[in-house]
Amino acid sequence: YQGKHGPTGVVVYEESAARPATDSLVLQRELRRAIADDQLLLQYQPKLHLSTGQVSCVEALVRWQHPERGLLPPIDFLPVAERSELIEPLTRWVLRQALTDCARWAEAGRPWSVAVNVSARNLATLEFVEVVRETLAATAVPPERLYLEITETAVAFDAGQVREVVERLAEIGISVSVDDFGVGYTGLSQLRAMSIREIKIDRAFIANLEESQQDRAIVASVIDLAHGLGCTVTAEGVETQQVADWLADAGCDHGQGYLWLRPSPWQEIVPAGEASGTALPASPAP
């Protein structure tokens, strides 16, 4: 924060772009309390089958309802969580809430899968496999309904350990997705060696598909690569119908993006074609 003298000589603090390091300690302490006090919340964004428009899966995206600063996006607090041990309770909270909501969709006749983002640090120890197993059991969600999205950076991070954790997760029936594909450093041999169910093409390649012949070439190759590896492929960040049509023609399986729905509260996720009057009742905490 930068101090500034107000008209009365009182120092007024303004937020500065360059925040001092102590700020991240304050943030850590606040975030620890936020996790315990249920200040986190999830918004959801559906993945749709490009050929049918049906919802196949719904991705959970965490937010923090900060008491003074309002609703914070993950970029404002995830880096701090990932640099500390706080990513562990944060991921446990997200997993528990997402699976609770998944069970409620199923009760409402919408047996969608749910996708949870996990950080590299979560995959560093086999203990995470137990956390997942216990949460599935506690919420009575079948493992086939859970996707865990890991970034390419996580795949590259201590590949040996991550690979073993991913194998154990696949053994219990969970699907593993590689998120943000194309912007990281996954070696193709690492990808081949792991039980990956889905590849999600990063939004960076989707945003300018219409103008960029290079991006179209990259996306077409990633679709072939994914299918060649036996994976399904999802395009992130689809914002226009033209892009959705191009992707469907190119054989992309699923799409996700503002074209269909922005990340929204649990009860607002309704399948394409259903009126919003059929919105689900409010979600109780787990």
User: Which residues contact ligand C2E (rule: CB under 6 A)?
Assistant: 45, 60-62, 73-74, 78, 94, 117-119, 149, 179-180, 203, 236-239, 256-258, 263
78 interacts with, out of Mg ion, ligand C2E, none, CB within 5 to 8 A per kind = ligand C2E
Maximum Cα–Cα distance across the chain: 69
Give me the 191-230 binding string for Mg ion, x by CB under 5 A, dash otherwise: ----------------------------------------
> Counting beta carbons within 10 angstroms of the beta carbon of residue 103, is it exposed (0 to 12), middle (13 to 18) or buried (19 or more)?
middle
Angle, CA of 272, 273 and 278, to the nearest 5°: 95
Quick one: how far is CA 259 from the chain centroid? 18
Q: Which residue of 30, 88, 101, 179 would you call a contact of Mg ion, by CB under 5 A?
A: 179
Residue 204 near residue 152 (C-beta atoms within 8 A): no
Residue 83's beta-bridge partner residues? Answer: none
Tell me the window of 75-83, 145-153, 227-235, 263-271 that interacts with Mg ion (CB under 5 A).
145-153
- Which is closer to ligand C2E, CB of 113 or CB of 119? 119
Residue 210's beta-bridge partner residues? Answer: none
- Which is closer to ligand C2E, CB of 48 or CB of 194? 48
- Which is closer to Mg ion, CB of 117 or CB of 232? 117
118 interacts with, out of Mg ion, ligand C2E, none, CB within 5 to 8 A per kind = ligand C2E
In 3-state terms, the chain is what percent helix, strand and coil (to 5)? 45, 20, 35
- CA–CA separation, 202 and 199 (whole Å): 9
Q: Which residue of 97, 113, 117, 232 would you call a contact of Mg ion, by CB under 5 A?
A: 117
Residue 186 sits in the site that holds Mg ion (CB under 5 A): no
- Which is closer to Mg ion, CB of 179 or CB of 253? 179
Q: Which of residues 232-261 bind Mg ion (CB under 5 A)?
A: 236
258 interacts with, out of ligand C2E, Mg ion, none, CB within 5 to 8 A per kind = ligand C2E
Angle, CA of 205, 190 and 175, to the nearest 5°: 75
* Helices 127-139/159-171 angle, 10° precision: 30
Indicate if the alpha-carbon torsion angle 117, 122, 125, 129 is positive or negative. Answer: negative
Taking CB atoms, the residue at the shortest distance from ligand C2E is 257
237 interacts with, out of Mg ion, ligand C2E, none, CB within 5 to 8 A per kind = ligand C2E
Looking up tokens 């969600």 gives 141
Binding site residues, Mg ion, CB under 5 A: 117, 149, 179-180, 236
